[in-house]
């Protein structure tokens, strides 16, 4: 769907992170956490997948972003939007549910989708941007670095969907 | 249920981590990841909740353990058991589902339970130990450090269940 100018701006921060991650040799997925307070919006943190950069099993875009945001009061999470360039995996969706983040803006869900039904069942509002830049980032990833992508989503490279460019 | 001697041994490693975490001023939840290979069992990593110690929003016992284990081939996770002193939150359950860890031994689920139905629906084998030491660790936590416990599970202190000792 067409994003509001505000959502597009914050999704842009996540895309910027994804592109930095790609340049570092990593998985190009980025995120941003934005608090909607009485005095307006505040970007609490941005983050990116750092599997390669940090040798990490848990630093996906969303979790890296939340880790950079640090320990926050529960009430803050409940007034936030999480922006991510790709539909969350179960780990990242579970993190959003843990902290009751009420709204997630998702760059695209064509390349990967594993948690949206669950998030919706928990009352999370999902906005799917169908953003062409986000799709391109993942297409390049799956073409040029399929082994790392498979590792990142817990599948064998041979298990990647036939519809994906690596087939 | 009564654990096998082997499961009790590895759960013991998780309990040891939980006790270290309590001594550090943290949340007393620990974990261990054990690979069941052709040549026998191998402890790949242990971990503990480090919310307080590292100012972390994502280092629960299980995720800290998986982070310490580092990047592993998908095939390895699928031959592992994850031991944890407390029933996994949605973040940690989502991480186990992401990596298709087939079996989780849970110290206790009386103090907290948020993901077992979901894990079972994904085919994860769950073994609930009902371990008295694990229960005691959490009872002490909820009595002496309720604010940190509430923060760790994304609720307000006032939202902690009336049946809990903080009421």
Task: Supply the ipTM of this predicted assembly.
Answer: 0.95
* Residue A81: inside a domain: yes
Q: Confirm or reject contact between A69 and chain B (CB < 8 A).
A: yes
Active site residues of B: 62
Q: What is the pTM of this model?
A: 0.95
Can you give the pLDDT at residue B161? 64
* Number of domains chain A is built from: 1
- Best probe of the B interface among A90, A101, A112, A122, by most B CBs < 10 A, is A90
CA triplet B125, B127, B128: central angle to 5 degrees? 140
Q: What sign does the CA torsion over B53, B54, B58, B62 have?
A: negative
CATH code, domain with A73: 3.40.140.10
Kindly give, in sequence order, each residue whose CB lies less than 8 Å from that of residue B14, ignoring residues fewer than 6 positions away.
Answer: B30, B31, B32, B46, B61, B83, B84, B85, B107
**How many residues belong to chain B?**
167
pLDDT in tens, A59-114: 999 999 999 999 999 999 999 999 999 999 999 999 999 999 999 999 999 999 99
pLDDT in tens, B62-117: 999 999 999 999 999 999 999 999 999 999 999 999 999 999 999 999 999 999 99
Give the count of Cβ contacts less than 8 A between chain A and B.
Answer: 97
Closest-CA residue to B152 (of B19, B34, B46, B63): B63
Give the residue numbers spanning the domain of B72. 12-109
Please state the φ and ψ torsions of residue A2, each to the nearest 5 degrees: -75, 120
Chain A: residue nearest B94 by CA? Answer: A91
* Residue B83: inside a domain: yes
Q: What percent of chain A has pLDDT over 90?
A: 92
Q: Confirm or reject contact between B77 and chain A (CB < 8 A).
A: yes
Q: Which residue has the tokens 């939007």?
A: A81
Please state the φ and ψ torsions of residue B31, each to the nearest 5 degrees: -150, 160
d(C-alpha B110, C-alpha B135), whole Å: 7
* Residue A120: inside a domain: no
At residue B163, does pLDDT exceed 50?
no
* Residue A145: inside a domain: no
Q: Confirm or reject contact between B74 and chain A (CB < 8 A).
A: yes
* Residue A1: inside a domain: no
Can you give the pLDDT at residue B102? 98
At residue A163, does pLDDT exceed 50?
no
Confidence of residue B159 (pLDDT cuts 50, 70, 90): confident
* Residue B136: inside a domain: no
* Residue A71: inside a domain: yes
CB neighbours (10 Å) of residue A2?
7
pLDDT in tens, B14-39: 999 999 999 999 999 999 999 999 99
pLDDT in tens, A138-158: 999 999 999 999 999 999 998
Can you give the pLDDT at residue A165? 46
* Residue B22: inside a domain: yes
At residue A167, does pLDDT exceed 70?
no
């Amino acid at each position: 769907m067409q994003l509001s100018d505000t959502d597009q701006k914050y999704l842009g921060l996540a895309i910027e992170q994804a592109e930095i991650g790609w340049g570092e040799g990593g998985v190009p997925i980025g995120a941003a956490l934005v608090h909607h307070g009485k005095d307006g919006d505040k970007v609490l943190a941005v983050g990116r997948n750092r599997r390669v950069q940090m040798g990490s099993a848990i630093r996906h875009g969303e979790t890296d972003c939340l880790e950079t945001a640090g320990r926050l009061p529960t009430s803050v999470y409940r007034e936030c939007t999480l922006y991510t360039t790709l539909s969350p995996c179960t780990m990242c969706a579970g993190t959003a549910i843990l902290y009751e983040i009420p709204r997630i803006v998702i760059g695209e869900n064509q390349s990967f989708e594993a948690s949206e039904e669950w998030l919706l069942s928990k009352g999370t509002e999902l906005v799917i941007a169908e953003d062409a830049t986000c799709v391109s980032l993942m297409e390049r990833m799956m073409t040029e670095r399929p082994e790392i992508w498979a590792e990142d989503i817990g599948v064998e490279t041979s298990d990647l969907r036939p519809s994906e460019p690596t087939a």
